[in-house]
Structure formats: C-alpha cells, structure tokens
Structure 1
Amino acid sequence: MNNQEYAKMVLNELTHTLTKIDTNSAEKFVELVDAADEVFCAGAGRSGFQIKGFAMRLMHMGKASYVVGETCTPNIKEDGLLVVCSGSGETKSLVNHAMKAKEVGAKVALITINPESTIAKIADVVVEISAPSPKSAKQGEVVSIQPMGSLFEQSEGLFMDISIMMLMERKGLDSDTMFGRHANME
C-alpha cells in the first residue's frame, strides 16, 4: 500500500471514532473546562504527549493550566479540574491522581476507551472514544490498521482540539488573540 491509501484508511478510522463521541459528554467536558479555575492535565505515554498539547492550548486561551508531574505544577484545589487521558482508565499513577483530585473536592474528566474503568467510576464526565488498544480490557467498535493504541491517541488529541474550538466559540476568541500568548522564548 502507498501513503495515499494508508492516509484514506486512517482518516476513515478517525472519522468513525470522532463522530461516535457522545455529544452530551463532549458538551459536559467543555462546560467543566470552562468553569474550572485551574485545569490539571494528566496522561501517560503517548496520551501524555497529547494532553500536554491540550494544556498548552488552554494556556493560549488564558486559562490557568498545568501538566501533572511537572516541577512547577501547584496543588489541585476544590475549584480545579483534573483532565485524564487514559485508554484503559486503569493506569495506576492516573488512578491515584484522580482519587487525590476527588479527595480535595476537585472535578475529574476522563477521556478513555473504557467507560467502566476505575477512573470512570469516580469521574464527573467520561468521554468515550471507540478505538482499540492493547492496554484496555474494553475494545472500541473499530478495528484499526494502525499499531497499538495509535487510533485512540490521535482521536483523543483531535477531540481535545475540537474542545478548544468549542471553548473559543463560547469565549469569542480567535487564533490571533490566542497567538498573543504563544511562547516568545523558543
């Protein structure tokens, strides 16, 4: 197969996963992000890379956002939101983060394949992405040609970008306004 054929197959997979996300869950996710004083972002592995991009876009919007585990991340408080990306919803460190957030009264949002997971059971909103992953007991509806959890990781990144677009619309922001907060020490 050539790159064009692979591209069409991957785009079809992404169309499937993104259009299967429940609209009510997506709206609630955006509402929780919008209402939070601070947003704490956590994920492991490739999901961790995706969530860092989300934290950056929130910062571009003027929202206080942090990546859990970074040395300059403050403590989460009652008015905070923890956003967790975890295909399985069972990654031990992420389960611990979610439990700590709930312990202090903060909200938890989970983006996952597994809406029955440990984190899902304590989350205030669960955004389910129907994609396969070798780490999840529950497999999504689609069978992917891509390796391992690639489809989930791509889908969660695109879902978070779509959420940013929804937040931008709510706040009346555009890319030019947000670019004013882009790093100038690169």
Structure 2
Amino acid sequence: MNSILKTGREVLKKEASAVLKVMDEIGEEFEKAVDILHKCSGRVVFMGIGKSGLICKKIASTMSSIGTPSMFLHPADALHGDIGMLQRDDAIVIVSNSGETEEIIKVIPWIKRMGLPVIVITGNKESTIAREGDVVLCVSVEEACPYNLIPTSSTTATLALGDAIAMAIMEKKSFKLEDFANLHPGGAIGRKLFTKVEDLMHTGDEIPKVYEDTPMKYVILEMTSKRLGVTGVFNKNEELTGIITDGDLRRAIKKYDNILSKTASDVMTKNPKTIKKDRLATHALKKMEDFSITSLFVMENEGDRQPVGIIHIHDLLKAKIA
C-alpha cells in the first residue's frame, strides 16, 4: 500500500478509536455536566488555549445554535480585564488536555470567587485544573501523532464529546426543527428551515386535474401539458379521489389491451398522499422519500378533500431543499 495512504488511514483509525473510547467511558459525570448546562440561566463560557481554544469556539458555536447562549473567553485576556465579561448566572467549561495550562490555573480562583460551576474536559483527571472542577470529563486518548505529542486524537475526541453534550441538551430542551429554523435564517440551512410548501407549490390552472369519467386520451394530454408527470382525479364535488402517475400509466398499458378505452377511475390510485400548505418544504421531501413518490397534493387543512396546490420533487430541487 502507498505509504501516504497507509499513514492517512492509520491516523483516521486512531482518531475513530479515540472517539469510541470516550463514548465507552462517559457516565454519571456526563449526565451532571449536561444537567448543569441545561439549567444554566446565563451563558456557557468556554475557556482554552491553543488548539483547545479552537475546539472551544466550535462547541460554543454549536451550543448557541441550539438556543443555549455560549461564548469563548481567552484565559490570557481574562487575566487582563476580560474576566469582567462573566456574570453570576454563567457556567464555565474549561478544555485543557494536560490539565496544567498556566493561564487557566491563574484565572480559576477568580471564577471560584464568583461561585460559577466549572466543568473540566481534560486528558488528565489528576491534574491541577481537574481538581478544581465541579464535574470532570476525561478525554485520555493516544494521539495519532507518531510521537504522541501533536493534538490530534485528543482534539477530535473533545470535539465529539462537545457535540454529544450539545445534542443531549437539545433533547432535554425538546428542541424542535422549528426552533432550529428561528436561529438559522440564512444560507442553506435557513432556506431548508424557512421555506414552506405554499412557497413552492403550483396553484390554480397549474394544478393537473381530470375527473373520474375523463377518457384516458384526455388524461394523458392533461399530464403532458402540465408537465408534472401526474394528474389529480376529482369527483363531481371537486374532491380529490385519486392520482394518476407515469407509473400508473405503465401499469395500465400492461394490464389493458386498449388503455384509451378506459377512464381515469379505471387507472387511478385511490387516496393520494397530501400535505398541508403550511408545513416546511423539508417535511414534503421526507414524505416523498418515505413513500417513494414524486408529488404531493397540498391542502389548506388536515382532512380536506379539495387541494389548493401541488408540489413536485423538482420544485424542491430547484429551491435547493433536496
């Protein structure tokens, strides 16, 4: 095997093993940490130096994205005035692999004086910093570096542990997709979480529509002209009773000698899937995936029989929802 590929795979294997090791070791202390952060009425303040500081910033960002206000405070800056950022209701998360980071050791007395709870994530649970923690989460792993020096496995495992804490808090808060949407108005995430079915659906004359007694010749013409690969089938009360798709046409051609002698009711699939117009477009996509279909008729309210629109998977693709 190419030596470069071999090295790459060995590193990934070691880092994956490190994450699994931490997974096996979390227990009561993890639950305590999640409980403290979930109950925090102020902000979760992360502190770390160097690469640990970078990991802190990412975890803080993730926590904020699930509605738990979080920030990063550099320990050196804290010693020179920025400790004034701390408030009485805050909780502190310190990340230090060695547990002996000088700048953090110097700032801890001031944190303790304020009575703030301290969660320590470290690779050395017997360290100076670990002894000051109300909760200690141990990330003692072998680095992927051949000299066991460069932070590799330890930063990966710490980052994964931070994600685990965030997701556990998310569960305790019963954080819903709609809550996430309110915190992510921009970019691809915002597009997926704010776009509703009614924003993308076809309405009015764009809705493919035939009646139960419509001859199949005109059914096919309607499907062709509306270019959605489907048509709804309605009764005399303008209620949706069925759907005819390209797949239904193929099955009917195989079943009947002369499909053009049939009517829509002979070929349609009864009780087509529908969705409310105020649902998120992502819900429409999931429903299409769950039932292996490409279109949904859109209703004003649950249980309605008269659609106000239709949405096709191509609409979701164009809107970059899928």
TM-score, scaled relative to structure 2: 0.49
Contact 1:98–1:108 under 8 Å retained in 2: no
Structure 1 residue 127 and structure 2 residue 137: aligned?
Answer: yes
Structure 1 residue 51 and structure 2 residue 65: aligned?
Answer: no
1:170 to partner: Cα distance: 0.6
1:160 to partner: Cα distance: 0.4
Percentage identity across paired residues of the two chains = 24
In structure 1, the residue corresponding to 2:85 is in which secondary structure? coil
Aligned to 1:15, which of 11, 14, 20?
Answer: 20
Name the CA shift for 1:150/1:78 in 2 (closer, same or farther; >3 Å): same
Contact 1:112–1:127 under 8 Å retained in 2: yes
Inter-partner Cα distance in structure 1 for 2:61 and 2:185:
10
Structure 1 residue 67 and structure 2 residue 77: aligned?
Answer: no
Structure 1 residue 32 and structure 2 residue 36: aligned?
Answer: yes
Inter-partner Cα distance in structure 1 for 2:125 and 2:40:
23
Inter-partner Cα distance in structure 2 for 1:10 and 1:66:
27
Contact 1:13–1:144 under 8 Å retained in 2: no
Name the counterpart of 1:102. Answer: 112
Inter-partner Cα distance in structure 2 for 1:19 and 1:95:
29
Inter-partner Cα distance in structure 1 for 2:182 and 2:24:
32
Inter-partner Cα distance in structure 1 for 2:176 and 2:99:
33
In structure 2, the residue corresponding to 1:182 is in which secondary structure? coil
Aligned to 1:148, which of 134, 150, 164?
Answer: 150
Contact 1:88–1:114 under 8 Å retained in 2: yes
Which structure has the larger Rg? 2
In structure 2, the residue corresponding to 1:162 is in which secondary structure? helix
1:84 to partner: Cα distance: 0.4
Q: For each residue in 1:82-109, what CA deviation from the matched residue of structure 2 results, as whole angstroms up to 9, or x when unmatched?
A: 1000011111111223221111111111
One-letter amino acid of the counterpart of residue 31, structure 1? D
One-letter amino acid of the counterpart of residue 109, structure 2? M
Inter-partner Cα distance in structure 1 for 2:176 and 2:82:
28
Name the CA shift for 1:153/1:175 in 2 (closer, same or farther; >3 Å): farther
Structure 1 residue 76 and structure 2 residue 81: aligned?
Answer: no
Q: For each residue in 1:115-167, what CA deviation from the matched residue of structure 2 results, as whole angstroms up to 9, or x when unmatched?
A: 1122211211000112146xxxxxxxxx8657522111111100000111101
Name the CA shift for 1:168/1:48 in 2 (closer, same or farther; >3 Å): same
Instruction: For CA contacts below 8 A with separation 6 or more, give which structure has more relative contact order.
Output: 1
In structure 2, the residue corresponding to 1:165 is in which secondary structure? helix
1:7 to partner: Cα distance: 2.9
Name the CA shift for 1:151/1:57 in 2 (closer, same or farther; >3 Å): same
1:5 to partner: Cα distance: 5.0
Q: For each residue in 1:47-102, what CA deviation from the matched residue of structure 2 results, as whole angstroms up to 9, or x when unmatched?
A: 11111111111211222212113899862233211100001111111122322111
Contact 2:100–2:127 under 8 Å retained in 1: yes
* Bigger mean CA deviation after superposition, 109-118 or 58-67: 58-67
Contact 1:131–1:144 under 8 Å retained in 2: no
**Aligned residue pairs, count:** 175
Question: How does 1:159-178 map onto structure 2 within 5 Å?
Answer: 159-174=161-176, 177-178=179-180
Inter-partner Cα distance in structure 1 for 2:186 and 2:105:
35
